[in-house]
Amino acid sequence: MAQCVQSVQEFIQDSFVPMVAVLCSEDAERVTRKNSLSFPELLRPFCRLTSEGHLRDPNNQVVVVKGLRISVTGINTRPPQTPEMHRLLSQAVSVCQPPEGSPANVITAGDYDLNISATTPWFETYRENFLQSMPASEHEFLNHYLACMLVVSSCEAVPTEQFLKLSQEQHRIQHSGEYTHPKWFIPNTLKYYVLLHDISEGDEQRADSVYEDMKQRYGTQGCYLLKINSRSGSTGADEQMPDPWSQYLHKTSIHNPELYEESAVSNAVENNIGAEEDGLDPSIRDGPLVFADDNETHPLQLDQPTDAGYPSNNASQSVNNVDMTRPQKQASVTSHTTPTPRGTCLTLNDHDHIRQFIQEFTFRGLLPHIEKNIRQLNDQLVSRKGLSRSLFSATKKLFGGGKVPEKSIAELKNTAGLLYPSEAPELQIRKMADLCFLVQHYELAYNCYHTAKKDFLSDQAMLYAAGALEMAAVAAFLQSGAPRPYPAHYMDTAIQTYRDVCKNMLLAERCCLLSAEILKSQTKYSDAATLLIKMTSEDSDLRSALLLEQAAHCFINMRGPMVRKFAFHMILAGHRFSKAGQKRHALRCYCQALQVYKGKGWALAEDHINFTIGRQSFTLRQPDNAVAAFRHILINDSKQSAVQQTAFLREYLYVYKVRNTHSCIMEALTLFSTGEKQAATHVSLDQEFDRDLSPLWRELEERVVAVVNRGAVPITFQPSQCCLNSQTDNLRYPLAVVEEPIIVEVVFRNPLKIPLALSALCLLWKFTPKDFSDPQGNTTMALNDIIDTQVIPEFTISPEETKVARLKLLPHKTGELHVLGVVYNLGTGEVDNSEGDLMCVRGQQNLEIQGPRLNMTKEEKTSVTYGPDHRLDPIITPLMPLLEVALTQAINFFQFNT
């Protein structure tokens, strides 16, 4: 697995934290809303304690609690239902992308240097959101409420009456039987009374007086006076205050539906590019290496039954939290352009007040309450049948009845209701184990889980047994000093039971996430990868994609990195990301896998990856990446069939047509140039360059020049070269003459098994006019007056054919000419619509010639240096005399025309 920000211990401790409910009066809610926050949101950044807590276990041993975090939510908070859960988790993953410009993480594995993600924050975001949204279950108590804060404003006429109303409301919610949710840990829930005082508008002396009365009523450990809003809106307007809430409220969409609505729109727009703009050929839905998956259900299918039994607000009570039950607003792409400022009425002293309040509540209220209940549970269990003070040796046989009759395994598989009554000793042991686990007393928790596990297995209560096995394994791992090895087989049994017997993939996934992280921390990457792969299934593409990606990271992090398995599972992850609508993550996975397959001779696999990268890049508005990927499929010696190559080319042309990109797949192999008004009968471009005859022609030309110059050859003499190629001397700029044609011979090679149709083929050139008779070189003329460019209307290249094209330019003015390349329309010759238009795009192939290797000086011999090649850079000179030669049977004569 990839590296995580948190250690495995921190991750597990933050996954199971004490749950605290909040019930506010309307006035108290109004006070916190001045900061654009509900009361639970106000507390969220301060819910991790920075100092140690202490409590004593039933054996009077001191337990140290470090880094404890509590979860404070509104009493009407309900876990999202299955469809909403799908959207929230998908969106949480979608908005979390690799940071741009982040430093590369290069891993060297054998012959490979792989640039892969060091961390996967999208997976950690998914995992955090998933665990936080776990619904409360009957077989465990870890996410049941332990306490309830009752919050009343000091501005109330009679605050004590409001406290009484809130207390009665909490009691009704918990004990009336009207609500199946929320669930409560113990019948005697801790009620903590909070008097909220608004400093900017309230009477501080009255607040102090009310608080003194509260201490008399509820005790000093059961109440608190919290003073906030020290900062008025008119003072310190320019002062920059920290915003600790943004990282919590924006971190997860599950606790911030406004963020979900905003980002869901952008995600929908992004994912709909394929529907509106991705007009790719529907005949090609997969390249080679198609990964079949017929299940098109939405990812992350949860198996929890829906339950609407939650308390709701009434006219006199304002239950504070982000209300997940309210209808979603109509999404708008223009909404929420700027984040709402939070905490504008708070000062740094107010922040300290909130932090101190949480610490007081935890150390003086919550931990003593948990300690007392652990002792009470222990005493109840020990008192039955005269057990010893130590629970460590307690067994189920020594407890009295209280459980329902045993059931067959077939009945248990279909059991969704409660198997044990609330007072059954088996549940009391489990409850005590959960309490110990929440306060980090892992040794006692393990023993309780282990005892409960035996009882549940004896009764074939498989859901309960799986839960006890799961937490016994985690508690064993977390024990300080590791007195016992991590029982991975406990987790394996729990996962199999959750998945196959209880049909609960939600709990099976939780087990997998916990166990994989533990195995990774022990460098057991192979075991972790096996576990992650087993948890992939057809019911959730998103979950499968994330787990497959983590399995790939396990393979690459092994002592002997398994590079091919890394790449293969990255491809599988990319495929499932794509099915889940996570196009950016899919593209990233395929790009990372390509590093392994590229250039290794696995042509079909490489084609499949490049084809997928091309499509995903095009959909994500990355035309350059799409072009590069499609081009790679076509320029190499493809192993694909002609039908598949035709489909690839059609996709390629479509991308170019939509994006109006100018490029081409053709390769220029050899180039020729000549300058002559009329081809001489003894010179032809079909004639190969003859190295032996070349010196003879040079000698003949020197003799002619010597005769003209009275027997001496000028120093500036350069032999004429009518045909320039790779073997001629191309260090100097060739001379061409006005009104004499220049012919460039270009050899095209079609590497495909299908024909290519080129049309409107011509040379691309750049010309700098220069009047050699005018020292200033000033000329002004129309483009058509400079050079005539020959256009070849049609140029078809058969499959795997090499074919020559001769392209002509006729200069009309003097100057400097630079032949840059060739341009044409590239297509398949097919008609792409009912109007009869050909499927083609305008392509361009630049002609860049590498000169000869230089090997004269010492520097040139010790380095790879190439000289210039000016074949395509002729200088256009004024008109020159022409030589005509006529041969008769009798005599030879020469006639010069000027």
Q: Mean pLDDT across the stretch 783-797?
A: 87
Supply φ then ψ for residue 68, to 5 degrees. -70, 140
Task: Give 751 or 123, the one with higher predicted confidence.
Answer: 123
User: Residue 867's pLDDT band (boundaries 50, 70, 90)?
Assistant: confident
Q: CA-CA distances (angstroms) from residue 513 to 8, 144, 516, 518?
A: 11, 21, 5, 9
For 701-735, how does the pLDDT look when each residue is reduced to its tens digit (9 = 90+)?
888 888 888 788 887 777 776 788 877 778 888 88
Of 12-26, 277-291, 472-486, 752-766, the least confident: 277-291
For 461-488, how does the pLDDT look when each residue is reduced to its tens digit (9 = 90+)?
999 999 999 999 999 999 987 667 899 9
For 323-357, how does the pLDDT look when each residue is reduced to its tens digit (9 = 90+)?
333 333 333 333 334 567 889 999 999 999 999 99
Average pLDDT, the chain: 80
Q: Mean pLDDT across the stretch 287-315?
A: 37
All domains in the chain, ordered by first residue = 422-661 (1.25.40.10), 678-683+722-772+783-877 (2.60.40)
Q: Which of 108-122, 546-560, 836-850, 870-884 has the highest mean pLDDT?
A: 546-560
Task: Say which residues have a Cβ less than 8 Å from residue 530's Cβ, sequence separation at least 6.
Answer: none
pLDDT computed for residue 355 by the predictor: 96
Q: Is 532 helix (H, G, I), strand (E, B) or coil?
A: helix
Supply φ then ψ for residue 380, to 5 degrees. -60, -45
User: Residue 665's pLDDT band (boundaries 50, 70, 90)?
Assistant: very low
| Interatomic CA distance for residues 708 and 875, integer angstroms | 24
CA 411 to chain centre: 43
Task: Say which residues have a Cβ less than 8 Å from residue 109's Cβ, sequence separation at least 6.
Answer: 556, 561, 563
Q: Give the closest residue to 185 by CA, choosing from 384, 374, 445.
A: 374
Q: Mean pLDDT across the stretch 106-112?
A: 81
Query: C-alpha angle with apex 541: 537 to 542, nearest 5 degrees?
Result: 120
Which runs of consecutive H residues, i.e. helices, occur in 147-256? 159-175, 204-218, 246-249
CB 76 within 8 A of CB 23: no
Q: Which of 109-123, 275-289, 414-428 has the highest mean pLDDT?
A: 109-123
> In 3-state terms, the chain is what percent helix, strand and coil (to 5)?
40, 15, 45
- Dihedral of the alpha carbons of 272, 273, 278, 282, in degrees to the nearest 10: -10
How many CB atoms neighbour CB 879 within 10 A? 11
Of 1-10, 95-104, 183-192, 401-410, the least confident: 401-410
Supply φ then ψ for residue 451, to 5 degrees. -65, -45
| Interatomic CA distance for residues 751 and 635, integer angstroms | 7
Percent of the chain with pLDDT over 90: 49
pLDDT computed for residue 614 by the predictor: 93
Counting DSSP H helices and E strands in the chain, the numbers are 27, 22
Of 58-62, 67-71, 201-205, 831-835, the least confident: 831-835
Of 498-507, 659-668, 848-857, the least confident: 659-668
Residue 682, pLDDT > 80, answer: no
Task: Give 674 or 834, the one with higher predicted confidence.
Answer: 834
Q: Could you tell me the two tokens for 283?
A: 């005949």
Of 17-31, 133-147, 849-863, the least confident: 849-863
Burial (CB < 10 A; 0-12, 13-18, 19+), residue 851, is middle
Of 235-249, 434-448, 786-800, 867-881, the least confident: 235-249
pLDDT computed for residue 83 by the predictor: 85
Q: Give the closest residue to 745 by CA, choosing from 650, 847, 836, 673.
A: 673
Q: Which amino acid is at 352?
A: D
Q: Mean pLDDT across the stretch 591-595?
A: 94
DSSP-derived letter for residue 558 is S
| Interatomic CA distance for residues 133 and 125, integer angstroms | 12
For 513-532, how does the pLDDT look when each residue is reduced to its tens digit (9 = 90+)?
999 999 999 999 999 999 99
Q: Give the closest residue to 594 by CA, choosing from 621, 565, 570.
A: 570
Residue 886, pLDDT > 90, answer: no
Task: Give 762 or 654, the one with higher predicted confidence.
Answer: 762
Residue 391, pLDDT > 50, answer: no
Beta bridge partners of 21: 73, 148
Cis check: omega of the bond before 83, within 30 degrees of 0: no
Residue 306, pLDDT > 60, answer: no
Task: Give 610 or 731, the one with higher predicted confidence.
Answer: 610
User: Residue 866's pLDDT band (boundaries 50, 70, 90)?
Assistant: confident
Percent of the chain with pLDDT over 70: 76
- Dihedral of the alpha carbons of 850, 855, 857, 859, in degrees to the nearest 10: 70
Residue 266, pLDDT > 60, answer: no
pLDDT computed for residue 1 by the predictor: 62
Residue 5, pLDDT > 90, answer: no
pLDDT computed for residue 336 by the predictor: 39
| Interatomic CA distance for residues 74 and 43, integer angstroms | 11
pLDDT computed for residue 159 by the predictor: 95
